[in-house]
Amino acid sequence: MAKLKTTIVFDSGARIGPGKIALLESVRDTGSISATARSMGMDYKRAWTLLESINQAFDEAAVVAAPGGARGGGAQLTPFALELLERFRRIEQRAADLAAEDIAALAARARSEMGEKI
């Protein structure tokens, strides 16, 4: 089904959309940037760069190195990141709900595939 994509665009130009939110949720669930990168089909450097861009967008860090432990190398979300996830998913869900009727009306007129004619 057609769906609404929501992205928050901050004054700095920083953008938080479903891709970065999914990345944060994966870090929350796996505690690992490596595992997050694998699960999202991107290389470690790409995942790290995206997470660092989230950290740079705010005064508070979203992702930090997990404290010590034998294996080390882990990552975890800060309370601020958990708040960011909650607020984003709430916006996304509410927007999807309110847009459902308009989107369904447009989707009924949408082609199932692109490029059938030029």
Do residues 50 and 5 touch, judged by C-beta distance below 8 A?
A: no
Tell me if 117 contacts its own copies by CB under 8 A: yes
Our CB check for its own copies shows the closer of 68 and 79 to be 79
What number of CA atoms fall less than 13 Å from residue 16's CA on the CB side? Answer: 25
- CA–CA separation, 107 and 116 (whole Å): 17
Our CB check for its own copies shows the closer of 70 and 114 to be 114
- CA–CA separation, 66 and 76 (whole Å): 5
| Number of residues binding to its own copies, judged by CB under 8 A | 49
What residues from 56 to 115 belong to the interface with its own copies (CB under 8 A)?
56-60, 80, 83-84, 87-88, 90-91, 94-95, 98-99, 102-103, 105-107, 109-115
What number of CA atoms fall less than 13 Å from residue 77's CA on the CB side? Answer: 21
Our CB check for its own copies shows the closer of 35 and 100 to be 100
Tell me if 43 contacts its own copies by CB under 8 A: no
